[in-house]
Structure 1
Amino acid sequence: MNHNVFERERPLAHTKLGTLRGVTYGDVNIFMGVPYAHARRFQMPVEIEPWEGVRNAYHHGPIAMQALDTNPFAYYRGLHMLEKQNEDCQNLNIWAPRTLNGEKKAVFVFIHGGGFFAGNAFEEISFDGFNMAHNSDVIFVSINHRLNIMGHLNLEEYGKEFWNSANVGIADLVVALKWIHENIAAFGGDPANVTICGHSGGGGKVQCMFMLEEAAPYFQKGMVMSGAREPSVYPAVDRESSRKIAKDIMNELGITKENIEKLYDVPFSELARVARKVAQPFGWGPVANDYFPGFPVEAGLPAFSKDKPVIYSSTLGEFPAVSIPAEEKLTMTEEDQVAYLRNLLGEYTDYMMELFRKAYPEHQIIDLAFMDAGRRHAAVASALEHAKKGCENVYLMMCSYCVPEDGWLPIWHGGEMAYIFQNEDKVLVLNEAVQGQRYAQILSTLTVNFVKYGDPNNKYLPVWKPVRNGENNTMIVDLNCRNVAHHDDELIELFDKYGPKVTIKLSHS
């Protein structure tokens, strides 16, 4: 068997809807662009019909229409937006290790980030599921679904067919999870052992699935990576304001209830142009209504999800709000670092430095400048809400590793995912032979243990205590890991008030 080329023999998977033909790479069968639903514009997804014969699943499926071209950070170095776009984007991808004797493997479902307005299942080269499937013997699934104006435009005032148009993007995910539940056994997967994991906006989507009773039967565990939602940091989209945005867009297009059929013929480019004119790009997202009650912290975790184990995670660096040239970073003395922080943080600098040294003693003091208090706030608040409902397996994680290539740059928003997927060698800035591989071993092992058994504890970690009774026990995941409680509460509170605010720069096309 040649692990470097696709095998001539094509694997078949006999799903409930029909037979799929994929490709084999080493000991992993790969099926790409598998459709799970279809939908008319702005309407709820409908499960696909069975087909006759064999359907080829050799190629990536189309991704969601992108309403905004992103200006990615240099360190992502991935496949940003190179996939074909189509409104018919409800498809998924499967990496399935070959099975023997009818064994059932745990299933890891990845939901991409990009808020609720951008991104796709192959946005990063590190989103490839082969290594995780091959090395860890789990089935890796990634999902494409509707986004932005196509997934979250609130047209409820324009007809019964649009009753939930504000949430069809997350409704797509429910149908995808149902498809996985009903068909993953054909690939060797265990439908009773499914973990959904989302990064950034994908983490918010995982939280949405916890809130939807319709989705609850189709997964058993969740991982929310730098994407938890909390009202004071990342509030849900207000229903009334979402209706006003829709009305403004329709007025710009000259469409009313009486001529609503015209909406189906408006080119997407025109929809996107008008949407950019009247709405903020990050403003798209699910809207609380009879279908979606809201995110856990604001609406309360429902009883049907209270026993599902979950990991809430954030990184120390997330989105840098400061810009220090690499050559300057590497030559800064501690005196230089302190001077920089004083200029950045003002009168609270000394106290914040004291708190930071106590919370993160292994870090250089300049790392304080890179903190993102909001995502840490949201992760802690969400974990505490989950634990309050009685779940005994709620875990908090802070990824604080510093990437060696830049001397000490704290791991950023999304940087940990390449390590989890065991693809750190695909991202140049992470490809450090010794430390990078060790960190990948730590992060991937805790993830795989959680996926298989619902418990991330393993030989690389000290005992990881779950969140209990208001104790925000956190595993600091670094080359030397430690479990701590309330180690940075006051620091995060201060930094949130007086630290630099993160802004994400985007470009329109």
Structure 2
Amino acid sequence: MSAPDPVATTRHGRVRGSREAGVLAFRGIRYGADTRHTRFDRPRPPVAWADVVPATQYGPAAPQTRAEERISEDCLFLNLWTPALDGGRRPVMVYLHGGAHAHGSGSDPLYDGGNLVRRGDVVVVTLNHRLAGFGYGYFAGVGGPPESGNVGNLDICLALRWVQNNIAAFGGDPGRVMIFGQSGGGAKVVTLIAMEEARPLFSTAATMSGQHVTAIGPMNARRRAAAWMAAAGVSSFDTFRHMPMEQLVEAMGATDPIEGKGSISFASTLDHRVLKRHPFHPDAPAEASGVPLIIGNTHDETGYWLAPILKARDTDWHNLEARVAQQIVKDVDPAWLVAQYRALYPQRSPGQLLLAISTAARSWPGHLIQAEARARQQGPTWMYQLDFPAPESDGILGAFHTLDIGLVFANTHLASARTGNTPDAARLADAMADAFIRLARTGDPNGGNLPHWPRFTLDDRATMIFDRQIRVENDPRGAERRLLAPIPYIKPGG
């Protein structure tokens, strides 16, 4: 006879989950009320319910362009995996999904927490929150709520308060909560570290390719909100606020007024209320210096975006400079940069140099700034670099942006992980997943079969290299770092 479905009691009501290969899974637990009624404003807790509510299906994603799943303003739901409802005090790992503050959800199969639970005796949580203009459109000064530029982050805070209040019922320890995220999710992690309201709600953190150093400034944020309203064809905020969701989503696809390309870019806003400082400028937040933090990046971040170009294999010495100019964000002469890289790596092809240069002058600098700022505070910080190349197209894309997600979740068996379902990938996943679990459990990723992982300091710049051979290197790619260090990194469109 099979065991009954698990039922847990939250402060708002009971929820019924399911059993999946020895793990209890709860999907679509409501942690906040329908945001349609608080559009652009601080979220509210849910209304309590009397019946046992099924928690077996993911909730809808937040409104977004190019949606790949059902979207709704009623999107404040979280998902949870746990070994047992036994009153245990297990570490809690809360994952914030990527998608540049504009896309995605916590429902991607790649984020399934079952394998982390099985190998680490932890509780894993993923969540949905408001995105893009709905979560980060800044309408202060035009009749909108003063906190509107960060309500997506306030949603996350509400979810973390839910964890504090309810996780014990799911076998978790509210005193050991780790937040981690990749790309835009990593950027949200470092932003929460800088937010007074968020800091008491977690104890450890990890940012994976979350290179944000600064938030969007309030003047540019207002320009973007105005552009969104104009694209929707209205000038009155009150009218705009009550327009149908579908029309607002369509209007978000207008060209960004700051960068002059792409759709309107929304992200955390320096509003001097919810977010009173930039995450890592002019320094790391002193109040969070004691929070144990992993800072990670991939060796070939831009392979994710350059895939069509790299797979075409048509980069040559004639078009390399022009392609470099299109990809970098540091303001440096592409001809000079190409010449310097040709001297550094004389055996590399033009395509390989495009990948190296674009990563170093676009996606790598933010991680270095974060690690260096933390080192100046002597905060407990560990840095990693993923060198393990994706197998597709004979490895031409390298270790690209997003490749560490499936490894950290130990979900390399999924095709969407893009690591290949191989023994090498599984061994690397074991090491990375266990290191993150140890950070959640003890505040230190060291242990197990992992080589000793020293804290990052300015003298040694110790970095764990996750590859087929896991090792520590001091100042990896140091020549590239020194070459580009004198040229400031300025986040586009900030």
Normalising by structure 1, we get a TM-score of 0.82
For 2:45, the equivalent position in structure 1 comes to: 47
Secondary structure of 1:185's aligned partner: helix
Report the Cα distance in structure 1 between the residues aligned to 2:42 and 2:123, rounded to whole angstroms.
28
Match for residue 91 of structure 1?
Answer: 77
Asked if 1:216 corresponds to 2:207, the answer is no
**Candidates 241, 265, 270, aligned match of 1:288:** 270
Can you give the 5+ residue segments of structure 1 that lack an aligned partner in the other structure?
2-6, 70-80, 330-335, 504-509
1:189 partnered with 2:176: no
Map of 1:395 onto structure 2: 382
Partner of 1:246: 225
Q: For residues 60-79 of structure 1, what are the structure 2 equivalents within 5 Å?
A: 60-67=58-65, 69=66
2:120 aligns with 136
Task: Return the alpha-carbon distance in structure 2 between the equivalents of residues 251 and 354 of structure 1.
Answer: 49
SS of the residue corresponding to residue 276 of structure 1 reads coil
Q: Deviations over 1:209-239 (max 9, x none)?
A: 1011111111001110001212xxxx42121
Code of the aligned partner of 2:370: S
Q: Which residue of 1 aligns with 2:212?
A: 229
Structure 2 CA distance for partners of 1:328 and 1:222, relative to 1, 3 Å: same
Query: Aligned-pair distance for 1:200?
Result: 0.2
Instruction: Show CA shifts across 1:94-150 (max 9, x none).
Output: 0111255x3211111110000111111123x31211111122221110010001111
Partner of 2:328: none
What's the offset of the Cα at 1:467? 1.6
Partner of 2:135, secondary structure, is: helix
1:375 positional shift: 2.5
Aligned equivalents of 1:227, 1:26: Cα separation in 2 = 32
Percent identical? 27
Q: 1:136 to 1:284 in 2, by over 3 A?
A: same
- Matched residue SS, 2:301: coil
For residue 446 of structure 2, the aligned residue among 422, 435, 457 is 457
Aligned twin of 1:158: 142
Deviations 1:335-373 (A, max 9, x none): x9999989977665575356469xxx9x99975542312
1:481 aligns to 2:463 (yes or no):
no
List alignment gaps of at least 5 residues for structure 2: 257-261, 325-334
**Cα distance change of structure 1 residues 239 and 341 upon mapping to structure 2, 3 Å threshold:** closer
Query: For residues 214 and 252 of structure 1, what CA distance do their matches in structure 2 show?
Result: 33
How many pairs align? 463
The residue type equivalent to 2:439 in the other structure is F
Matches of 2:268 and 2:428 in 1, distance apart?
35
Cα distance change of structure 1 residues 256 and 402 upon mapping to structure 2, 3 Å threshold: closer
* Counterpart residue number, 1:316: 299
Contact 2:133 2:225 in 1 (8 A): no
- In 1, the alpha carbon distance for the partners of 2:226 and 2:392 equals 50
Taking the aligned partners of 1:342 and 1:262, their CA distance within structure 2 comes to 48
Q: CA deviation at 1:31?
A: 0.8
* Matching residue within 385, 402, 417 for 1:414: 402
Q: 1:274 aligns to what?
A: 251
Given that 2:224 and 2:264 are in contact with CA atoms closer than 8 Å, whether structure 1 keeps it comes out as no
Question: Compared with structure 1, are the counterparts of its residues 11 and 271 closer, same or farther at alpha carbon in structure 2 (3 Å cutoff)?
Answer: same
Q: Is the 8 A contact 2:389 2:399 kept in 1?
A: yes
CA deviation profile, 1:175-196 (whole Å, cap 9, x unmatched):
1111111111110001111110
Equivalent residue for 2:185?
202
Cα RMSD, aligned residues only: 3.2
